[in-house]
């Protein structure tokens, strides 16, 4: 009760009760539990889209430079003879973070020589992964 001058009583209280505050906190917690995973997933999807667009742009620019340097064609010895031949043709047009050759320094080797364990715990297999390619070389 609040007493005003003259002895008038009022039943209006200032503030919230503990039960009201706890109820609001619980409701906000439930809403957060429902929305935060969705926000995280949306962010991760946007990151993957940006990475895919960057990889596509890198490969597209590399292909255009190769076409310009080879008279408008990609035919020839670059794509005959397997991965290593194609990689060696593309290497001048890309920035290579690390070229391992037959070494095992580019990825964590799981002991099989060709299989590598990814961060998700599953196995990913590459055939003679020579390099980790990051982006276009500086002009």
Is 6 contained in some domain? no
Q: How many CA atoms lie less than 13 Å away from 70 in the CB half-sphere?
A: 15
Q: How many residues make up the chain in this entry?
A: 139
The answer to whether residues 82 and 28 belong to one domain is yes
Residues 39, 29 share a domain: yes
Residue 83 domain-assigned (yes or no): yes
For residue 114, what pLDDT is reported?
47
- Verify that 70 and 103 share a domain, yes or no: no
Run of H or E including 98: strand 95-99
The verdict on residue 12 lying in a domain is no
22 burial via Cβ count (<10 Å: 0-12, 13-18, 19+): exposed
Residue 70 confidence (pLDDT): 76
pLDDT tens profile 39-74: 999 999 999 898 888 888 888 888 888 888 877 776
Query: Which of the 8 DSSP states describes residue 51?
Result: H
Residue 22 lies in a domain: yes
User: 85 in a domain, yes or no?
Assistant: yes
Give the list of residues 6+ apart from residue 109 with CB closer than 8 angstroms, or none.
115, 116
Dist. CA 75–CA 88, nearest whole Å: 15
User: Which H or E element spans position 38?
Assistant: helix 18-69
Residues 24 and 89 in one domain: yes
Is residue 37 located within the same domain as residue 67? yes
Task: List the domain range (segments joined by +) for residue 70.
Answer: 17-94
Residue 83 sits in the same domain as residue 39: yes
- Tally the domains of the chain: 2
pTM over 0.85? The answer is no
| pLDDT (tens place) for every residue of the chain, 139 residues total | 555 566 656 566 677 889 999 999 999 999 999 999 999 999 999 998 988 888 888 888 888 888 888 777 766 666 666 556 667 777 788 776 566 655 555 544 444 444 444 455 554 444 444 444 444 444 4
């Amino acid at each position: 009760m609040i007493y005003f001058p003259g002895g008038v009583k009022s039943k209006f209280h200032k503030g919230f009760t503990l039960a009201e505050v706890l109820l609001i906190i619980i409701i906000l917690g439930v809403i957060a539990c429902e929305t935060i995973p969705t926000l995280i997933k949306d962010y991760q999807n946007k990151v993957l889209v940006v990475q895919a667009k960057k990889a596509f742009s890198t490969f597209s620019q590399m292909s255009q430079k190769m076409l310009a340097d080879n008279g408008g064609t990609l035919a020839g010895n670059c794509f005959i003879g397997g991965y290593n031949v194609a990689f060696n043709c593309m290497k001048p047009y890309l920035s290579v973070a690390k070229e391992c050759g037959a070494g095992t320094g580019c990825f964590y080797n799981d002991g099989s020589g060709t299989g590598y364990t990814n961060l998700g715990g599953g196995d990913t297999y590459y055939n003679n992964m020579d390099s980790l390619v990051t982006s276009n070389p500086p002009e």
